[in-house]
A and B are shown apart, each in its own frame.
Chain A
Amino acid sequence: MKTFHIGGVHPHDNKIYSAHQPIQECALPAKAIIPLVQHIGAPAQAIVEKGQKVKVGELIAKAGGFVSANVHSPVSGTVSKIDTTIDSWGMKMPAIFIDVEGDEWLETIDRTPDVLRECNLEAKEIIDLIAQAGIVGLGGACFPTQVKLMPPPGKKAEVLIVNGVECEPYLTCDHQLMLEHGEEIMVGIQILMKALNIQRAVIGIERNKPDAIARMQELAARTLGVEVCPLKLKYPQGGEKQLIDACIGRQVPSGALPIEVGAVVDNVATIYAVYEAVQKHKPLISRVMTVTGKSVQRPGNYLVRFGTPLSQVVEQAGGVPEDTGKIIGGGPMMGRAMNNIDMPANKRTSGLLFMTESESVRPEAENCIRCGKCVSACPMGLEPYLLSKLAELQRWDEMEKHDVMDCIDCGCCLFTCPSHRPLLDYIRMGKGKVGGIIRARQAAAQAAK
């Protein structure tokens, strides 16, 4: 069985809590708050005004640049204000506030459950539809999908890699989506293959989801050019570069994009959104998210409209457990701990994980014993012990020499460190600093020209 070739760790997957829970629709909120930044890149520009009536699926904010994404209204009602709201990390973000009235959809959206397999659109038209629908990578990075589908001149995509790995422990939303909407995903894959003008797609799924592998294999057998690649269990297999290495054995060089080796990677949830946008004319207004944790009453996979406060989603799952010490947006390896759950659900929220007080506290750090476990765990072949020390000493130029910018924030080093040293905390800070230095240098070089 295949996997990626450098480093990696084996966290306990803990998917048992929410695995195989059917996707449930979450109730509509009374007031929806729709953030304008739900993606990487420039914020979207609001195009509605206070007091304006909107329907579900209506465009309410336009992409603010090439790398940016449209935002559509996930509810119907009246825009009450355009203001800032506080996100789950206490920082301000611009948002559109809508008072929800009923659930009235745009007529153009096809809401029937039928699977539409035929697609006679041209590549250009497909990409336009995807851009209009505001689709971003739902695996976590939230990179606008249409940008990925337009390779820079001179580069040619050869293979579409579908990310069904879900290597983050606890999360099960992609797994459930493959089980329930496998057919739609398969149509979505074909649409993307058409948009990219390629003949091959590989679906990577880790072997802890045998039913999803079987289901997708069954569907792939009927589809030309699509194959399923069962993968060994290893974190961070869902990382873009690791997945390409695992599925087709090519390694993306440092600093380059996957297109360099002819690959385009998309998450299954993104592909499902593509299907809905192209075949059903439904923009990206909802996503499946996992609510899970040891003491959550009703862990499961919930279909949530954007703008619904996370606290409401949690209510549906049985409320915040008494012994909660930490709430994590996303999985435990890369997710961010939140200091409140009043933030609305959006394109970024792939899950909510409740950790008990005893699971939450980090043990005290001890001296580095130079065991080298972080070095063998690092999937990028870096030396975390060294980078972390350099960051502590603020030696940014040396960090750059030791390829800190290749770090993918996966957390394997900290996960594996027997001394519980906060390696990634320092490396992440150093990466930020070095990134700033590099950008400043590039800007200076640009100005010099």
Chain B
Amino acid sequence: MKFILIALLVLGITGCVAAVLLYLIAQQFKVEEDPRIDLVQEVLPGANCGGCGFAGCRALAEACVKADSLDGLLCPVGGQETMNKVGAILGMEAAAADPKVAVVRCNGVCEARPRTSRYDGVRSCQIMHNLYVGETACPFGCLGCGDCVAACQFGALSIDPKTGLPVVDEDKCTACGKCVKACPRNIIELRKKGPKGRRMVVECVNKDKGAVARKACLNACIGCSKCQKECAFDAITVENNVAYIDFNKCRLCRKCEAVCPTGAIHAINFPPRKPAADVQPEKKEAQA
């Protein structure tokens, strides 16, 4: 009996002393933190992808709480819905932003872009890009090693074995921008998803003169400016021998697609053209 008592006493006293110590230390080193940070973090997706430009979801939450307005702060993964929730917590209005999606601006499929060498190093676009032009003659086009695929945390990218080019799964893409950073040739761009996912894209970034570009790849934009002339909304600019469609101005009329001589302009997610419309026979990769 005595032993049990002693044991209980010793343990009890040790426990009490430790509790007091712990409490004092916890008070001493307490970090004051805005409780709203935790609340905001709750509604964020928690993927820590960094797509918002901050080090992770916690960092974005801190930034939101600190900021005076939510302009410029966007969780690309959660999108507008999430930002609205964040706004509700913080009592601020979240400005509406259009959902975006990653777009691969190269259509140098195997048939169009002949191989001129065989690469035998590490399968990494960055390393191949540092070394030389790549397996084809196009110094701007996709290298096909899949650095973007490796960078994507959401499994939205994959290399199509038939074309050797990356394909974006629009349902999975969160427009976090990781692939844009990973691509050494700046081929991937975040573009407005568009109504019903419909959008017009120039799938080429080749800045060479028309003849040179065409020699390297049949699907290249040759900078002929036909699309620019055709566009009624001033949405297309041709700079450095390559056309670019401003997605804020584009009205999706599809006229540029029809005039493009090389099929570099693609209309994505449109229904097939009605037979009445002027059908382009060479348009084949519309659903790329």
Cross-chain contact A91 with B132 (CB below 8 angstroms): yes
Q: Given the complex, which residues of B lie within 8 Å of A339, measured CB to CB?
A: 116-117, 132-133
What residue in chain A is nearest B129 (Cβ atoms)? Answer: A429
Cross-chain contact B117 with A428 (CB below 8 angstroms): no
Q: Given the complex, which residues of A lie within 8 Å of B122, measured CB to CB?
A: 422, 425-426
Cross-chain contact A90 with B137 (CB below 8 angstroms): yes
What residue in chain B is nearest A88 (Cβ atoms)? Answer: B132
Of A90, A361, A428, the contact of B116 (CB 8 Å cutoff): A90
Q: Given the complex, which residues of B lie within 8 Å of A117, measured CB to CB?
A: none
- Asked if B131 CB lies within 8 Å of chain A CBs, one says yes
Known: A339-B116, A428-B127. A89 touches B121 (CB 8 A): no
Cross-chain contact B117 with A360 (CB below 8 angstroms): no
Within 8 A of B (CB), among A77-94: 89-92
Within 8 A of B (CB), among A314-363: 336, 339-340, 360-362
- Asked if A51 CB lies within 8 Å of chain B CBs, one says no
Cross-chain contact B134 with A361 (CB below 8 angstroms): no
Q: Given the complex, which residues of A lie within 8 Å of B134, measured CB to CB?
A: 90
- Asked if A102 CB lies within 8 Å of chain B CBs, one says no
A432 and B117 CA atoms in complex are apart in Å by 24
Shortest A197–chain B CB gap in Å is 41
Shortest B212–chain A CB gap in Å is 9
Q: Given the complex, which residues of A lie within 8 Å of B116, measured CB to CB?
A: 90, 339-340
A90 and B216 CA atoms in complex are apart in Å by 11
A91 and B138 CA atoms in complex are apart in Å by 9
- Asked if B50 CB lies within 8 Å of chain A CBs, one says no
Shortest A88–chain B CB gap in Å is 8
Cross-chain contact B120 with A360 (CB below 8 angstroms): yes
Shortest A38–chain B CB gap in Å is 18
- Asked if B130 CB lies within 8 Å of chain A CBs, one says yes
Q: Given the complex, which residues of A lie within 8 Å of B130, measured CB to CB?
A: 428-429, 432
Cross-chain contact A429 with B120 (CB below 8 angstroms): no
Within 8 A of A (CB), among B77-116: 116
Of B120, B126, B131, B139, the contact of A361 (CB 8 Å cutoff): B120
- Asked if B124 CB lies within 8 Å of chain A CBs, one says yes
A360 and B116 CA atoms in complex are apart in Å by 16
* Prevailing SS type, chain B contact patch: loop
Count of residues in B whose CB is under 8 Å from the partner chain: 15
Shortest A288–chain B CB gap in Å is 26
Known: A426-B127, A428-B127, A429-B126. A90 touches B132 (CB 8 A): yes
Shortest B177–chain A CB gap in Å is 16
Count of residues in A whose CB is under 8 Å from the partner chain: 16
Known: A361-B120, A362-B120, A426-B122. A90 touches B127 (CB 8 A): no
Q: Given the complex, which residues of B lie within 8 Å of A422, measured CB to CB?
A: 121-122
Cross-chain contact B121 with A425 (CB below 8 angstroms): yes
Of B117, B120, B126, B133, the contact of A91 (CB 8 Å cutoff): B133
Q: Given the complex, which residues of B lie within 8 Å of A89, measured CB to CB?
A: 131-133
Q: Given the complex, which residues of B lie within 8 Å of A425, measured CB to CB?
A: 121-122, 124, 127
Of B120, B126, B133, the contact of A90 (CB 8 Å cutoff): B133
Cross-chain contact A90 with B139 (CB below 8 angstroms): yes
A422 and B130 CA atoms in complex are apart in Å by 15
Cross-chain contact A91 with B127 (CB below 8 angstroms): no
Shortest B15–chain A CB gap in Å is 43
Shortest B211–chain A CB gap in Å is 13
What residue in chain A is nearest B133 (Cβ atoms)? Answer: A90
A340 and B116 CA atoms in complex are apart in Å by 9
Of A91, A362, A428, the contact of B139 (CB 8 Å cutoff): A91
Shortest B250–chain A CB gap in Å is 31
What residue in chain B is nearest A425 (Cβ atoms)? Answer: B122
A209 and B117 CA atoms in complex are apart in Å by 36
Q: Mark A17-42, 1 if CB is under 8 A from B, else 0.
A: 00000000000000000000000000
Q: Given the complex, which residues of B lie within 8 Å of A92, measured CB to CB?
A: 139
What residue in chain B is nearest A340 (Cβ atoms)? Answer: B116
A413 and B31 CA atoms in complex are apart in Å by 48
Q: Given the complex, which residues of B lie within 8 Å of A90, measured CB to CB?
A: 116, 132-134, 137, 139
A336 and B126 CA atoms in complex are apart in Å by 17
What residue in chain B is nearest A431 (Cβ atoms)? Answer: B130
Within 8 A of B (CB), among A260-300: none
What residue in chain B is nearest A361 (Cβ atoms)? Answer: B120
Shortest A380–chain B CB gap in Å is 20
Within 8 A of A (CB), among B129-174: 130-134, 137, 139
Shortest B115–chain A CB gap in Å is 10
Q: Given the complex, which residues of A lie within 8 Å of B139, measured CB to CB?
A: 90-92
A236 and B113 CA atoms in complex are apart in Å by 40
Q: Given the complex, which residues of B lie within 8 Å of A426, measured CB to CB?
A: 122, 127
Shortest B183–chain A CB gap in Å is 14
Q: Given the complex, which residues of A lie within 8 Å of B137, measured CB to CB?
A: 90
A336 and B130 CA atoms in complex are apart in Å by 12
Shortest B283–chain A CB gap in Å is 30
Q: Given the complex, which residues of A lie within 8 Å of B131, measured CB to CB?
A: 89, 336
Q: Mark B44-67, 1 if CB is under 8 A from A, else 0.
A: 000000000000000000000000
Q: Given the complex, which residues of A lie within 8 Å of B126, measured CB to CB?
A: 429
What residue in chain A is nearest B134 (Cβ atoms)? Answer: A90
A361 and B124 CA atoms in complex are apart in Å by 17
**A residues at B contact (CB < 8 Å):** 89-92, 336, 339-340, 360-362, 422, 425-426, 428-429, 432
**B residues at A contact (CB < 8 Å):** 116-117, 120-122, 124, 126-127, 130-134, 137, 139
New A-B pairs, 16, CB < 8 Å, besides A89-B131, A89-B133, A90-B133: A90-B116, A90-B137, A91-B132, A91-B133, A91-B139, A336-B131, A336-B132, A339-B132, A360-B120, A362-B120, A425-B121, A425-B122, A425-B124, A426-B122, A428-B130, A429-B130
For the complex of A and B, list the 9 residue pairs with the smallest distance between their C-beta atoms, beginning with the closest.
Answer: A90-B133, A89-B132, A339-B117, A425-B122, A422-B122, A429-B127, A425-B127, A425-B121, A362-B120
| 6 A-B residue pairings within 8 Å (CB atoms) | A90-B132, A91-B133, A339-B133, A362-B121, A425-B127, A432-B130
